[in-house]
Structure formats: C-alpha cells, structure tokens
Amino acid sequence: MASRPQSRLGDVGWLLPAAWRSLPLAQTLRGLRPTAGARPRLYLLDPSYEQEIGHYGSVARHLAEACAARSWLFVHLTGPQDRPPNGPRIPWFRRDARLPMRIYRPELGPKVLHGIRGDTRRSLRVFIRDLGAALALDRLIFPEGEAYFFFYTGDLLHPWAYLERGPLGPRQHLAVFQFNLPPHFEKATQQKRFSRHAKLLAQRLEAGKGANATRVRLCTDSPALGRLLKPALGSSLAYACPPLVGPEDLETLPTPEEIARRPHPLGYFGYLSEKHGWPILRELLEAQAGRQSRWLLKINPKRHPEDVAVAQQAATAAGATLQLGFFPEAEYHASLDRCASLLLPYRPQQYAFLSSGKLIDALRHGCLPIVPANTWLAETVRQLDYGLVVAPQYWGAVPACLAVLDLPALWARRRAAVREFLGRFTAACLLDSLAAPVARGPFEASGHP
C-alpha cells in the first residue's frame, strides 16, 4: 500500500500555522544537514514525559548514546514542562504528556467525563498538528536518509485516528510504544474496547487512508498484550523493548559474592497504592512485627499521604528501614544494589498485560524479583527461571521462602540467562528493531519471541 505523495506545498500548509515556533527547530535541523548525508535520524517525541514519568529520563539518555555510537542523528523534541530546554532537548509540543497518557476515565461522572473527553480531543489534535509540522520540516530539510519518529502513549490506538490528516513521507517511519494502559484495563469491557479500536485502526491503514502500514508500528514488550492485539493489527504490531539498560550495565552485573554481602534481604520501592501492592506490603510488615526484618522500603507518599503514619508504624515494628520521598535515579539504583530481592506485589488485574520497568531494574541489579501470578512479570520470571511467582493466597509465605533460598547460588546459575534477556532492553537493540523490516507473527508463541 503506497502512502499519499507528499508535496512541498502540503508541507508549507503544515508549517504556516506554527511558523514562528518552527524557526528554532528548522535552524537546528539545518545545522545538522551539512553532515547528515544519508544517515538515519531518530526523533524522540517527548511531550514532557521526562518530568512526569519514572523511567523516561534514562530512556532518552540511552537513545542519545546509541545514536551517537551509530552516527545516527538524534533529535529530542520536548513539551511545555521542559522549558527552558535542558541540554539537547528542543521545546516543541504545546501540550504536556498527561492527556495522551490518560485519555479515558470511566470512573468519573458523565459531566466531568464529557469535559475531559473534549479536552482530550483538543489535546490530541494539537499533538498531531505539532507532529505533522515536525514531519514536514524533516521532509523539507533532509532529502535523504530514513527518519524514525518514536513516542510513548497511554492508549496508543487513539492518536493514530488522526494520522490520516498527515501521512508519512516515503522515508519516514513512526513507532508508537505502549508505555501504559487505559484505566480499568483489567475489565473485559475495556479490553474489548481496546481491541475494537485496534480493528478500526487496522482498517484505516489497510484502506490507505493513513500512513503506510509497513512504516507504522505499534510496539510492545508484553507478549500478553501482543497476543490480544495481534489478530487485529497483524504485521503493524511489533515486539520491541524500551531502552532501560545501558551497555555498561550488561558488563557490570553483580557477582554472587556481591549478592551475598547485601545488607537488606528484601526491598520495596513504590507507592502507598493498591495498584502497586501497598495492602500486601502492609500485611507482610505486620506479620514481621517484633522481628528485625532488615527490609529496605523507599516509598513516594505523594498519591496517598493518609497512609504514611501507618507505614511508619508498621516498618518500625518490623525492624525495616523506611525512607519517604522522591528519590533521584542514582540513589534509586544505589539502593537496589543493597537489596538481595525486590518485592513487586502489583495488582495482577492491572499488570496482566502491562510490563514493568522495575522488574528490569531488579534483574540488572541481581535482585530476585518477587511478583504476582497471572501477570507479565510472572511470565518473564518463569521464562528466566529467576524469581518467585506468588499466588494471591501465598504472599504471607514470602519471608519464609526467602529464608531458605541460596540467593547467591541461584544468581550464579541464572546470571548468564538474565544478561542475555537484558540485552533486549538496550537502545542498540531498539534501533535494530526500528530499522529492520516488520516481522510477522512474533506474538504467536507463549513467551517472548
């Protein structure tokens, strides 16, 4: 299926409404042009994710480093919360990432929901308008080389409905990565709705009304989500992993001896929310009352400050170390290096299809992941044969299980397999997948392809 031909007049039409904003980006791209030649270009479309979403800062850094290593051009377009620009980020988007991340809220009343839907539609139109102008500038300034436009979204099917307004050029590719899922995705009705939108999107692509299906990819690292969407999206759906791991991380995985010296047998880094497993953690702490658990708990109480006093009392009684607040990336990773295992007691209904960056963090630091059954996390742990998969009724048995496990010996046996798995989560692997032809059928097996 061929995309609609692009014309310079059409590109000017995209740029005229944003002419005054286009000048800084145009000047930046023109500055890259003399050395560009046919080098590939990667555009990271970041409407202020870096300021709001946990792992996004490392994603941007790893992509920039991998592009530099391959002589790709890297352009990082950010949103309003990143002004003034910090480093190589270029302010471009007029709306932040919040609405594209969360565009459906069924728990709200009809009046509030109607207002949010209207604001969502306006926000998405602005986003697509900004994206169309960036595509037009790329076509005007770079006559050669492939260009890859990469962004995250919370409901990746909605923004694509607008792509028919601005199809891609012959050398342009769009990769949309599933970073989150719509609220209440654990409900069968919402999964059906999601699949229905996937079918509508597939029909648009196949009918030639939107961008060329061979140059537009829906990306996910969750085989479960892939199996759900594969019947509708076919080859437009691609298995790809977020670049959460740097090449240096693969070379510095801990040794079994280092695991043995860690002062905390268990760590929990998260929130006081049901989604992230606070009720389970609370029960485990209460069961450890009067003991010296030596657990390390780093909790951001921002979302549920009313539970802080309960958490402090339970941690003190259990002999655990509790630290509250938002922790910078360096401190977060240093804390993981002090824990032999990591508790990830997420609600399985919300993580059946959703992946978790914290599981990848646990593996790169050698922490034994402790995860709920019937989730993406459990599927990954079983594939690697490294970690504990816990059924809902058995969370109380976790401390006893940890006490009898030889974690250094287990890490010694599985370290090589974990290292190979983590290689999929590097920026280099992502660039390979973006540049490769779309592969068919990657989600038909029960595990990762």
Reported as a single tens digit per residue, the pLDDT across 77-112 is: 887 766 555 556 788 887 765 555 454 444 444 444
Give the range among 59-63, 111-115, 169-173, 407-411 with minimum mean pLDDT. 111-115
Per-residue pLDDT at 282 = 96
Residue 283 sits at φ, ψ, to 5 deg, of -65, -40
Reported as a single tens digit per residue, the pLDDT across 244-253 is: 999 999 999 9
Reported as a single tens digit per residue, the pLDDT across 184-224 is: 777 888 788 888 878 877 777 776 655 566 788 888 888 88
Sheet holding 296-300, edge to edge: 321-324, 296-300, 267-271, 341-343, 368-372, 388-390
Percent of the chain with pLDDT over 70: 78
Pick the CATH number of 247-425 from 3.30.565.10, 3.20.20.70, 3.40.50.2000, 3.90.1640.30: 3.40.50.2000
Per-residue pLDDT at 224 = 86
Residue 397 in this model has a pLDDT that exceeds 60 = yes
6 neighbors 169 (Cβ within 8 angstroms)? yes
| Amino acid occupying residue 96 | D
| Amino acid occupying residue 80 | P
Per-residue pLDDT at 266 = 98
Per-residue pLDDT at 336 = 97
Q: What is the dihedral of CA 54, 58, 60, 65, to 10 degrees?
A: 180
Give which of 46, 44, 33 is closest to 431, Cα–Cα. Answer: 44
Mean pLDDT of the chain: 82
Token pair recorded at residue 80: 């309003």
CATH number of 8-242+427-435: 3.40.50
Domain with CATH 3.40.50.2000 in the chain: 247-425
Per-residue pLDDT at 315 = 96
Residue 443 in this model has a pLDDT that exceeds 70 = no
For residues 32 and 347, the model is more confident at 347
- Helices 19-36 and 110-141, axial angle in degrees (round to 10): 40
Q: What is the mean pLDDT of residues 361-367?
A: 97
Reported as a single tens digit per residue, the pLDDT across 52-66 is: 555 677 888 899 999
Angle of CA points 157, 236, 74, to nearest 5°: 85
Q: For 239-258, b where at least 16 C-beta lie within 10 A, e where not — what string?
A: bbbbbbbbeebbeebbebee
Residue 326 in this model has a pLDDT that exceeds 90 = no
Confidence of residue 1 (pLDDT cuts 50, 70, 90): very low
Residue 441 in this model has a pLDDT that exceeds 70 = no
443 neighbors 78 (Cβ within 8 angstroms)? no
pTM, 2 dp: 0.86
